[in-house]
Amino acid sequence: MKIDRTEDGPLVPEGPLAGGASAPVPVEATPNAQIVARFAHVDTWVFDLDNTLYPSDSDLWPKIDARITLFLAELFGLDAMSSRALQKYYYQRYGTTLNGLMLEYDISAARFLDFVHDIDRSSVEPNHSLAAAIAALPGRKLILTNGSREHALRTAQKLGLDHLFEDIFDIVAADLLPKPAQETYQRFFDKHEVEPSRAAMFEDIVINLLAPHARGMVTTLVVPKKGQVDHRESWEQPRVIPPHVDFTTDDLAGFLRRLQGTMQGTKLA
Ligand SMILES: [Mg+2]
């Protein structure tokens, strides 16, 4: 199956999906009324942070990734290669490296989070286009991240987005249980009084959209642009877009502008 990449539109899969599931309909070919039907009821807009609110070609995630490797190397006295292998083992088995460390070694979450998010953010520029697109969305906006609140806040500040969000639900608020755990989404819904059937979720990891879809959220997968580095593990990169993903895009700001334009155009019609 190939992925059709458009200038400013969402990515859409072409061809049949595994298991006989039908592909999401390309938004370009979708009548306005259908797009409005999917998003018009949304009053809460939920965004992942890393590799979603900033693009995959940012150097932020590689810096965090390297700090996690260093944390393990110093903790266990490992060489870089062994530390890296252990990191990826924990990530795949437990959802996050932190979760593995806590379950196996009772490591302090605060110590880990402070260390791995202690990075230089000077390369991050304000994203005025994304700020305008998010600001124009009708309703509340929230960040739901497996990282720390401090990291999300500092990164959002550098992106010029922090003033747009009502709150940040971080891994500590999640009682250190990372997405994609269903309990974490329920805790998030409860804390912020989110009605999932009136909410939309934007996220770069496919599996993290499973629970949102099951609860009735509109789901959008944010993917790297063609040629951009993809930080997702190989097993996280879907060969096909699964049915629990409603839309995909490699241009979040463009997608939100298009969505708004469609909704407004239909309302005016
Ligand atoms: Mg992410």
Q: Block means of pLDDT (10 residues each) for the chain, length 269 residues?
A: 35 35 50 74 97 91 94 96 95 91 91 95 95 96 96 97 98 94 97 98 96 97 86 78 92 89 64
* 62 Ramachandran zone, left/alpha/beta (phi>0; psi -120 to 50): alpha
pLDDT of residue 31: 61
Tell me the torsion sign for CA atoms 125, 66, 240, 174.
negative
What is the distance in A from the centroid of ligand 1 to the CA of 55? 10
Please check whether residues 130 and 199 belong to one and the same domain: yes
What is the distance in A from the centroid of ligand 1 to the CA of 49? 6
pLDDT of residue 37: 77
What is the distance in A from the centroid of ligand 1 to the CA of 96? 12
What range defines the domain where residue 71 resides?
60-116
What is the distance in A from the centroid of ligand 1 to the CA of 33? 30
What is the distance in A from the centroid of ligand 1 to the CA of 154? 16
What is the distance in A from the centroid of ligand 1 to the CA of 267? 33
The CATH number of the domain where 112 resides is what? 1.10.150.450
Q: In Å, how far are 65, 84, 143, 250 from 5, measured between CA atoms?
A: 28, 33, 27, 8
In a domain, residue 18? The reply is yes
List CB contacts of 126: < 8 A, sequence separation 6 or more: 158, 159, 160
Q: Which two tokens stand for residue 2?
A: 């190939």
Please check whether residues 85 and 130 belong to one and the same domain: no
Residue where a domain terminates, one of 116, 137, 163: 116
pLDDT of residue 233: 77
In a domain, residue 121? The reply is no
pLDDT of residue 34: 67
Please check whether residues 26 and 139 belong to one and the same domain: yes
What is the distance in A from the centroid of ligand 1 to the CA of 204? 5
pLDDT of residue 82: 97
pLDDT of residue 19: 36
pLDDT of residue 33: 66
In a domain, residue 43? The reply is yes
pLDDT of residue 56: 84
Please check whether residues 192 and 132 belong to one and the same domain: yes
What is the distance in A from the centroid of ligand 1 to the CA of 52? 6
